[in-house]
Amino acid sequence: MKRLWPNSLVGQLLLVVALILLLAQGINSFLLYRGAQNQNLVEASTSAVSRIAYGLERQASDRPVSRRDPMRPRRWGQLRYSAESPVTDDMRRLPELEARAGQAFANMGIGFADIRATMLGDLASDMTGHVIGTGRNERRKNPINRSMGGGPETSETKGFIIISAQQDDGQWVSIASAVRERSPLLVRTLIFQTVTIYLLMLIPLILLGRYISRPLKSLTATAQSFRPGTTAALEEQGPPDTRELIRAFNDMSGRVTRMIEEKDVMLGAIGHDLRTPLAALRVRVENVEDEGERERMVAGIEDMNNMLEDILSLARLGRSAEQSDPVDIRSLIETVVDEFSDLGRDVRYQRGEKQIAAVRETLVRRALRNLVGNATLYGTVADISVEKSGSSLLIHVDDDGPGIPEERIDAMFEPFLRGDASRNRATGGSGLGLTLARAIARDHGGDIILKTVKKAGYAPR
């Protein structure tokens, strides 16, 4: 069912309207067909009533003869005279036709003690010689009648209406009338009507849907690629509701841009105001005579500088002026590996095939530094590998550290949270490394996933 349901607004609107039209037209066709069927029954019963009235009139104007003469009924309109009605009690009666026949006979001044009507698919043998309407098709097929305008189409016999009326002397006058199916013209008319309605309704709806959806698609694309300060205001177009939505989006975009600009100004001021006293403090620390105390104070100042740099980088990530350029990921990883190797860290990378990706090189290099730095701090070795999966590029950074409990993996991305609860400087930084690395990955349309697995060749500590 989900495959049949369209994803777009226009497609869903058209499908719902089409289904409603189909349901309405189906109900309409059913009512028309039932009306045609009832009309067929009325026409057949009317013919039967007329033939009975005509036969009785001829009988009244002709010379008196015995009603039991087998030759007279055919001469007097194929009426069947009998002591019992061919419409027996076990047959399904048609009260509406009986009432119509009674009213018609009354209007013609003919009175009957009882009137019965029924419909049968096949006639009994005693009624086969008392049928009207069966020679209509032959007359239509006649070349003379066709040349006079009779159509070549014929209708099949659906059944027979039997009208049986009891006279005052107890005898029943009966006749059967063929019920014809309507010609295929009715079906063709319904099909033509349905197609016409669909064209008259769906074509304007398609145009209206495109008129509505085009600005919505532009709004969606703009929202997906939105970058504060760089995204231009979207042109207001479409219906009034859509224009109001676009206007609200442009206002929101402006407010977000102004808020981020104010934040950048504030962060710049904070960075300037903090770096200046830290630099002055660093100069004063050099005058401390105790070497151990001086080193601890310098390390504290460096930690504050690094933390300040991480905070500013994380806050300004979405406003980086660096453009994405095609970069050989292999060479970028090798640069990071060389940096850590120069520091005496055990980092391994098997050079593979060239992998070109459009990234902001400085940010991606920083994210890799954070990941490799964590791997070498909490483990003895970092193993880097690259895997191509469809249109995605996967960079694996494995270590032989103790791992992270499953319930704490999500919390490791929270700012200022470290895996080492002791907060020892030798085994950790500010707690912003993973947070910043994931923010960089998501800014490039990716993500970072932490997993604790047992890998052959590593012995967890």
For residue range 293-345, list pLDDT tens digits in order: 888 888 888 877 777 777 777 666 655 556 778 888 888 899 888 888 888 88
Closest by CA position to 264, among listed 308, 319, 305, 310: 319
Of the listed ranges 219-223, 227-231, 421-425, 445-449, the least confidently predicted one is: 421-425
| 316 vs 264: CA distance, rounded Å | 7
**pLDDT value, residue 461:** 34
* Confidence band, pLDDT 50/70/90 cuts, at residue 362: confident
- Tokens for 460, please give them: 């967890």
* Burial of 91 (C-beta count, 10 Å sphere; 0-12/13-18/19+): middle
**pLDDT value, residue 321:** 57
* Confidence band, pLDDT 50/70/90 cuts, at residue 153: very low
Greater pLDDT, 425 or 206: 206
**pLDDT value, residue 152:** 45
DSSP result, 142-209: SHHHHHTT--S----EEEEEEEEEE-TTS-EEEEEEEEEPPPTHHHHHHHHHHHHHHHHHHHHHHHHH
Closest by CA position to 127, among listed 85, 155, 95: 85
H-assigned helices in 62-147:
72-75, 95-107, 136-141, 143-147
pTM: 0.45
* Confidence band, pLDDT 50/70/90 cuts, at residue 248: very high
Closest by CA position to 19, among listed 198, 189, 193, 192: 198
> What integer is the mean pLDDT of 257-265?
80
> What integer is the mean pLDDT of 80-86?
89
**pLDDT value, residue 182:** 61
| 179 vs 121: CA distance, rounded Å | 10
Greater pLDDT, 212 or 243: 243
Which residues on neighbouring strands pair with residue 461, listed in sequence order? Answer: none
**pLDDT value, residue 317:** 66
**pLDDT value, residue 454:** 63
| 270 vs 274: CA distance, rounded Å | 6
| 322 vs 339: CA distance, rounded Å | 22
pLDDT digits (tens, 9 = 90+) for 179-224: 877 656 667 777 888 888 888 888 888 888 788 888 888 888 888 8
Of the listed ranges 24-28, 150-154, 432-436, the least confidently predicted one is: 150-154
